[in-house]
Structure 1
Amino acid sequence: MNELKIYLEALISFTESEMEVFISLFSEMQLTKNDYFAKEGEFSSKLAFVSNGVLRAFFRNKTGNEYNKTFFTPSNFVAAYSSITTKKKNLINIQCLTDCTLLVADFRQLTSLYKDYPKFESLARIIAEYKFSIKEKREIELVTLEAKERYKIFKKDHPNLEILINQYHIASYLGITPTQLSRIRSQNSKR
């Protein structure tokens, strides 16, 4: 729980009692590689903080092709956001790419505290704004940058992730084929 406290303190100043109330809603969950935190078509109600491991959010089309939307690494929150906020079925899957340790809370329990603890609502807004800015940046990169530029940004934004996950997951995230990624990596190693 210490990494969650450090993360929260960097975003907003909590009193000790506020921090204890917030932290008390989280419990540790262990998932193994390939386990799902959320599945498309199901309802989600949980928000988690990644303590250890790597997860991916992905969409699977009708023909079974998968498209990685984002990765969740330590010291980040993970959730099927559209489901927990709208109470509708998940549009995406969230799957562990490694063994994971998550700190999990019920989203509705967290939001029920907003009235009595306005800082919690401020925290939620700060995190939502951050997630939105990351999403917007990524969408712009996908339509305006060449694959080799997107790969360079990926390496900067996700150092060491390449050694933890399969290359086809990275290719999917970049919007290219594994063969294209292999060519880009080969060209980079020659420099």
Structure 2
Amino acid sequence: MESETAFFLESVKKICPNVTDQELAQFTSKITVEELDKKDFFLQFGKTQKAIGFIAKGLVRSSFMDKDGNEITVGFYAEGEYATHYASFLTQQPSKYSIQCLEPTTMVCLSYQNMQWIYENLPNFEKYGRLVAEEILVRQQARIESFIFQTAEERYLDFIKNHSDLFNRISISQLCSFLGIERQSLTRIRQKLAHK
């Protein structure tokens, strides 16, 4: 547990190098660590996200159900990333997404109430909140634009380039769902690229 918390605090210090040891100690007193098993939900559709989660160890998948009952994968988040439906967290409204563990996962969590307390009492951490929000926004925007501006093949190549470490950690069906293609289309893309 201590190593996971230390990993999280190192990432915080990179974002906010000017925080004092005292401020960091107060910040640390507001976080909790959650151990989740494979297939556990960090967030379920229809529930409000009460805490933002930093993945210290493990892998999660964010998804939603379409009108036909198909589960659509919108993201994979691994060590060093935040697992959140940020709109649900910020507005404290029910989420349209689920976040489920694909592996045993350790999350360092910060509740909505504690985040508000930190903003009010530790102003140096406002930068932390802003930069985390910006990172999440950029990630979501890239996801949206990949479907507007890229072909399925380009999305696949982009995934290989940016997430090659996830290949052996996710299923083919989850990858296809994330790329927005059928399994046979992915097979065709792979065969085409193998012959290039």
Deviations 1:77-125 (A, max 9, x none): 1123222211111111111111111112212212222122112222111
1:68 and 1:172 map into 2 onto residues whose CA distance is 5
Give the aligned residue type for 1:9. K
Query: Is 2:5 the partner of 1:5?
Result: no
Counterpart residue identity of residue 138, structure 1: R
Q: Distance in 1 between matches of 2:119 and 2:182?
A: 44
Does residue 123 in structure 1 map to residue 128 in structure 2? yes
Q: Distance in 2 between matches of 1:19 and 1:178?
A: 47
Pairing 1:63–2:35 present: no
Q: Counterparts of 1:11-30 in structure 2 under 5 Å? A: 11-13=15-17, 14-30=19-35
Deviations 1:34-57 (A, max 9, x none): 111111111220111101111111
Report % sequence identity.
Answer: 27
Tell me which of 165, 179, 182 is aligned to 2:187: 182
TM-score (norm 1): 0.93
CA drift at 1:152? 1.0
Higher helix share: 2
Q: Report Cα offsets for 1:150-187 as digits up to 9, x if no partner.
A: 11111121122010110111111111112212222233
Distance 1:44 1:135 in 2: 17
Aligned residues of 1:54 and 1:71 also touching (Cα < 8 A): yes
Amino acid across the alignment from 1:4: F
What are the ranges of 5 or more consecutive residues in structure 1 without an aligned counterpart? Answer: none
One-letter amino acid of the counterpart of residue 97, structure 1: L
1-structure distance, mates of 2:47, 2:60 = 18
Instruction: Check the 8 A contact 1:43/1:83 in 2, yes or no.
Output: yes
The two structures have a TM-score, normalised by structure 2, of: 0.91
Q: 1:33 aligns with which of 15, 38, 49?
A: 38
Structure 1 residue runs of 4+, over 3 Å off? none
User: What pairs up with 1:82-161 in 2 under 5 angstroms?
Assistant: 82-161=87-166
Following superposition, the deviation at residue 62 of structure 1 comes to: 3.0
Determine helix, strand or coil for the equivalent of 1:160: helix
Q: Is the 8 A contact 2:16 2:125 kept in 1?
A: no
